[in-house]
Amino acid sequence: MRAGWVRAGAVPALGLPRLAGMALDPDTVLLQVEAHLLSVLGQDSGRAGVSFLGAERIDVLRFGPDPDGLVRYGTLGMSRAPMGDPGALVVLEDGPRAELLLSVTDLQDSVLRRLAVLAASPSVEGVVLGPGAGLDLGEPLWDGSPFTAVLVGEPGGLVPDLSLDGHEPVRFLPLLPMTPNEAAWKRVHGAQALEQRWIDTGTDLRDPRRAEVDLRAP
């Protein structure tokens, strides 16, 4: 696995997976996704790529910090192919496509590798990511972070869906950091219950030093 932050640059050439239906060119999809991200979030302030053995490269784009210190990290590469079982003989071309977004106060560039791991999970493990899913990293989300897992939020808030002619749109899924206890509580009580706890306590999920939400029974 290789990684390193650089200034904005071109998207590398990518291979074409075997798809059922009228195939979309992966290069074209990624160029559209990149242009869409830049149109919504502005010019990126840096980007880095991570390469995995047996999987395509995943780039992570950094936007900001803005005047309030807020930084957005977005993946680029997960949407090159629709999500599905990698062991299947064919992958449905009209399957779901997505990229991941993380919003956090202050620069947390060590999140690069962890975001890339999450973005590679559909192609490596056959995971289909969607709202309400919990993803456990087993390590801090960034160096020194109290969060070791993320909850996949609803798309369409920060970055609207990107339409692909005749295919499912690319959705941009926000990642909500969870502590180990929050992740365990979510597995028992569900994503909606945890999100309601965050709302009820006014938790700022962008705060890299936020306290764990009170999980005691009301």
Question: pLDDT tens across 188-218, in order?
Answer: 999 999 999 999 999 999 999 999 999 987 7
3-state secondary structure at position 163: strand
**Cβ distance 67 to 28 under 8 Å?**
no
Number of domains in the chain: 1
151 lies in some domain:
yes
Q: Is residue 207 part of a domain?
A: no
**pLDDT at position 199, please?**
96
Q: Look up the domain containing 183 and give its range.
A: 5-200
Beta-bridge mates of residue 172: 99
Residue 31 lies in a domain: yes
What are the CA-CA distances from residue 85 to residues 34, 92, 144, 156 (Å)? 25, 10, 34, 25
- What average pLDDT does the chain have? 87
| Domain annotation covers residue 95 | yes
Mean pLDDT of 166-172: 92
| Per-residue model confidence as pLDDT tens digits over 5-18 | 444 333 333 333 34
Closest CA to 13 of 74, 57, 52, 60: 57
The predicted-structure confidence for 117-137, as pLDDT tens digits, reads as follows 999 998 888 888 999 999 999
Give the tens place of pLDDT for each residue, 83-104. 876 566 555 667 899 999 999 9
Residue type, 135: L
Structure tokens at 168: 């499912």
Q: What is residue 204's three-state secondary structure?
A: coil
How are beta strands 97-105 and 167-178 bridged, if at all? Answer: parallel
Query: What number is the average pLDDT over the span 56-76?
Result: 96
Residue 210 lies in a domain: no
**215 is a domain residue:** no
Domain assignment present for 172: yes
